[in-house]
Structure 1
Amino acid sequence: MRPQFFLLAAALAALPAAAAEPGAARRQAQIDQIVKQISPARIEATIRKLVGFRTRHTMSDTVSETEGIGAARRWIKAELERCGAGTPLRVEFDSHVAPVSARISRPTEIVNVVATLPGTQAASVARMYVVSGHYDSRNTDVMDATGDAPGANDDASGTAAVMEMACVMAKYKFDATLVFMTVAAEEQGLLGAAHWAEQAKQKNLNIAGMFTNDIIGSSRDEHGNQDDTQVRLFAEGLPLQKENSEAVRTLIQTGGENDSLSRQLARAVKEAGERYVPKFKVNIIQRRDRYLRGGDHMPFLERGYAALRFTEPAEDFNHQHQNIRTENGVLIGDLPQYNDYHYIAQVARVNAAALSTLALAPAAPQKVQVRTARLQNDTELVWQANSEPDLAGYRIVWRDTTAADWQHALFVGKVTEFTMPQSKDNVYFGVQAVDVDGNVSPASYPTPLR
């Protein structure tokens, strides 16, 4: 029997005590500290400040210091600069002029506020993880730029979560680069996010993962039922394309529809989030977004990046995209009293834990392949070596074809090939990179090596 068989048998026997497995994911004190420092009180204060600008409609006032989107973006930038003082956090406006379109009645400057925390490891600094919330708001009429549009949940909640993460995490060091964005013109057609994503594509930036937080403010549905124990994480499978790319054709050919870059990222986010935020479920929804709806992760998906969306368990549509009014004794509108600030903090903690883990871990292995030169029941996996100096080795993960999440893992050390005594026909495989501290990358799906 080959040595790999003994290794596999030993690993499977030890699965109930997975923490003892070499190469297993381990809790990091730094991430525990970050999660602990996320403050519901600060998140609430930020949301109430944003609501205080009365409207943050994309085409609202840009001159006033107290009302409109201009005042809001200047305050966001100043606040990020204040909390990032003395840290490497770099805060900038990202601006472009949007022409007249279906939801833009006149040429309008669209301004994102972008806070970048550079990575500290030379081998990882070019790898980036992006998190966003949109700070613009709207009421019932998407073209109404003057009426009250508090947008406390949609999406001051996501904006406040991103700002809180930036302020807390700026005081820590990460191998890879983190980008915290509050973007504009989501309600007018995802314009701010699309501009930044397109610039990233043109610059060939290495965005290894992106997630947006949009409508994460309430733990109650329209009937008043509360669920503060989970968050939805939307993850696209096969991308929407007029013609399938070679990569997509390979996924379809090998049955890997559930192993897209975004689904692999979602599994990593779920694992990290649930590890550091106990009794809080990251519920992966295997869809690009809610049914026929969209968000700021979509421009990233359309440019080939792995991207996800966080959203509360059940939306109450009386509290989004609504003029403030009272009907049948019920106050309608996206108002701050309908938010659950402890819930928003929980979602922010999941985000922060996932971002921290991803930015401390090695990159996902590249050029992972299955040798197919001969027919056999074993599976020969090969991959390209990572370049990180703190790499400990690689972990092979696998699951049944009917399972959504990884079920088994085997640390195989610092090698670039390994033979699994299991058929590629019957399970799905992935390969992860692990560093010396136990930070684990997302899995890479193996493609055929002919």
Structure 2
Amino acid sequence: MTAIKSLLFGASALMLAWPAQAHDDAAKAPPSAVEGIYEIATAPSPERIRSDIQTLVDFGTRHTLSETESDTRGIGAARRWIFEEFEKISANCGGCLEVMYVSDTIEGETRIPEPTEVVSVLAIQKGTIDPNRYVMMSGDIDSRVTDPLNGTSDSPGANDNASGMAGTLEAARVLSKQKFAGSIIYAGLSGEEQGLFGGKIVAQHALNQGWEIKGVLNNDMISNITGVDGVTDNSTARVFSEGTRANETEEEARTRRFTGGEVDSPSRNLARYVKSQADQYMTNLNVMMIYRLDRFGRGGHHRPFNMVGIPGVRIMETHEHYDRQHQDLRTEDGVTYGDTMDGVDETYAAKLTALNAITMAGMAGAPPFPANVEASGAVEPSAKLEWETPPKASNLAGYRVHWRLTTEPEWTHSRFVGKVNEWTFENLVIDNYFFGVSAVAKDGSETPVVFPGAAGRF
């Protein structure tokens, strides 16, 4: 009898959670998946990634303060090689990438005391419909040993972070064979170990250029599978994201206290999107969302973008090995220290590269994000969402509304509602749920969910 009651209660709850629209909507839903993205999920080559990691390691050191004139050693040689690799990729796609350096001179900092040019390398694949809307994948060019000011000792930085840089190059090889509505940036950022300066410089450059970057996927250490905790795991990746926007105003924070959004920043919904893409298109990788900006008390190169309001997340391995991070090459008491090639698992790096590639393919293939999303319904029996359709939406099939209980970590319910700009959730009280909306392309590509108000605005 108890089991029957439980089943009946579950069915009733499900019926109550499904909103009915007041008017008949005959919109035809687009495909639930993009067939081509399944191919992208298996396209990255472990062999090419390992080869690129090895090439970066062979520069000896890539410390931000290291040699810049040599063709074989130091960060100058490394960044010129990355630039040349992007140009080779561009040549293979008929010149589809615009390759550039973005730099500035930094001095008077704790880890950059003397004037030093911090140079990052960008390759931009322009979109066909909405070219000023971007999604970015980044890896770091630089490496370091124990002393953050030591720019001369060998610092191979195989996993940290030649792996992220190699993954970015490989993603460019894979995605440059396709065309997308929006633009993609493949970035090699410098100065990460010295204070995230490459990211700060590129973020400011993006603002100066008026680029609408909807997501930054920062890849920092994506090839290690065995942690200092003794766990070996080649099937899980972590995605870190901030809960609230770093640059919200006092007024926006005050509104958020009464309407919600503490766990629905654009960065957090970008992280949910990364996980949903993996769930849909990959069969051998689980995504663990971490509700933190970064690891406890530590930082990464997505943070400078977050600081100026650009959504960003960190994608990385699940079990870190601290003996391989920021260490002089040595053996002490039988323990080997140093970030060398024997800690690289290229198959795992290819999986995480694929995770980035399917995320960027989905976002770049999607229509413009819903604009000015707002929710209403206080002291009413039904919640209501309203939003605007931006220009350059010729690939728009319509919109999907989403809802979940406030304690759920992911969006649990959704419904395609067509080319409308509002939706009423009949008999769903706004107090009890969170709501959002995404834009869906004719081929099924979809944006991340946009949470209402300033708290969730991309």
- The answer to whether the 8 A contact 1:126-1:206 is kept is yes
Alignment check: 8 A CA contact 1:25 1:440 kept? no
Asked if residue 151 in structure 1 is aligned to residue 153 in structure 2, the reply is no
Q: Distance in 1 between matches of 2:258 and 2:135?
A: 30
CA distance in 2, matches of 1:425, 1:251: 14
- State which drifts further: 346-355 or 231-240: 231-240
The DSSP-based 3-state class of the residue aligned with 2:359 is helix
C-alpha separation between the residues in 2 aligned to 1:273 and 1:90?
29
Structure 2 counterpart of 1:336, from 341, 345, 355: 341
Q: In structure 2, how many angstroms separate the alpha carbons of the residues matched to 1:146 and 1:23? A: 59
Question: In the alignment, which residue of structure 1 is the partner of 2:273?
Answer: 268
Matched, 1:364 2:364: no
Matched, 1:420 2:425: yes
| Offset from partner CA, 1:383-404 (integer Å, 9 cap, x none) | 1124311211111111111101
- The CA distance in 1 between the partners of 2:41 and 2:81, in whole Å, is 25
* Structure 2 partner of 1:380: 384
- Superposed CA deviations along residues 54-106 of structure 1, whole A, max 9, x for unmatched, are 00000111111111111111111111111221241111111211123110131
**Counterparts of 2:210 and 2:395 in 1: how far apart (Å)?**
26
C-alpha RMSD of matched pairs (Å): 2.0
Give the CA deviation at 1:240.
Answer: 4.1
What one-letter code is carried by the residue in structure 1 that aligns with 2:67? D
Query: CA 1:128–1:245 in structure 2 vs 1: closer, same or farther (change >3 Å)?
Result: farther
Partner residue, 1:18: none
Structure 2: how far apart are the matches of 1:135 and 1:312?
18
Q: Which residue of 1 aligns with 2:221?
A: 215
Superposition deviation, residue 438 in structure 1: 1.2
Counterpart in 1 of 2:446?
440
SS of equivalent to 1:425: helix
Separation in 2, partners of 1:274, 1:87 = 33
d(CA) in 2 for partners of 1:339, 1:246: 47
1:100 correspondence with 2:108: yes
Distance change >3 Å, CA 74–CA 447, structure 1 → 2: closer
Amino acid at match of 2:344: N
**1:282 equivalent in structure 2:** 287
Contact 1:274 1:350 in 2 (8 A): no
TM-score with structure 1 setting the length: 0.92
- Deviations along 1:161-215, one digit per CA (max 9) or x if unpaired, are 0011012211210100100000111001011110010121233321111110001
**Candidates 163, 166, 171, aligned match of 2:172:** 166
Q: Secondary structure at the match of 2:84?
A: helix
Q: What is the alpha-carbon distance in structure 1 between the residues aligned to residue 257 and residue 278 of structure 2?
A: 29
Structure 2: 5+ residue stretches without partners: 1-13, 20-26
8 Å contact 2:403–2:411 — kept in the other structure? yes
Q: Alpha-carbon deviation of 1:32?
A: 2.3
Structure 1 position 302 matched with structure 2 position 307: yes
Say whether 1:313 aligns with 2:300. no
SS in 1 for 2:342: helix
Write the mapping of 1:191-230 to structure 2, written as runs, cut at 5 A. Answer: 191-230=197-236
Displacement after TM superposition at 1:115 (Å): 0.4
1:389 corresponds to which residue?
394
Provide the C-alpha distance between the structure 1 equivalents of 2:246 and 2:365, rounded to a whole number of angstroms: 31
> How far has the Cα of 1:244 moved from its partner?
3.9
Q: Tell me whether 1:259 sits opposite 2:251 in the alignment.
A: no
Query: Could you tell me the percent identity over the aligned residues?
Result: 40
Mapped contact 2:30–2:441 kept (Cα < 8 A) = no
> Is 1:46 the equivalent of 2:28?
no
Matched residue count: 430
- Give distance in 2, aligned partners of 1:248 and 1:120: 37
**Conserved? CA contact 1:87–1:171, under 8 Å:** no
Contact 1:54 1:68 in 2 (8 A): yes
CA–CA distance in structure 1, aligned partners of residues 383 and 303 of structure 2:
35
Alpha-carbon contact 1:400-1:428 (below 8 Å) kept: yes
Q: Which residue identity is paired with 1:396?
A: V
Contact 1:190 1:295 in 2 (8 A): yes
- 1:233 is matched with 239
Deviations 1:366-417 (A, max 9, x none): 1111234x73111122111243112111111111111010111111111111
Report the Cα offset of residue 339 of structure 1.
1.1
Query: Which of 110, 113, 118 is residue 126 of structure 2 equivalent to?
Result: 118
Cα distance in 1 between the residues matched to 2:316 and 2:127: 28
TM-score normalized with structure 2 length: 0.90
Counterpart contact for 2:370–2:437, Cα < 8 Å: yes
CA 1:203–1:246 in 2, change beyond 3 Å: closer, same or farther?
farther
Give, in whole Å, the separation in 1 of the partners of 2:159 and 2:316.
10
Once residues 105 and 423 of structure 2 are traced to their aligned partners in structure 1, the CA distance between those partners, rounded to angstroms, is: 52
Q: Runs in 1 of length 4+ with deviation above 4 angstroms?
A: 8-13
Which deviates more from structure 2 when the two are superposed, residues 34-43 or residues 179-188?
Answer: 34-43
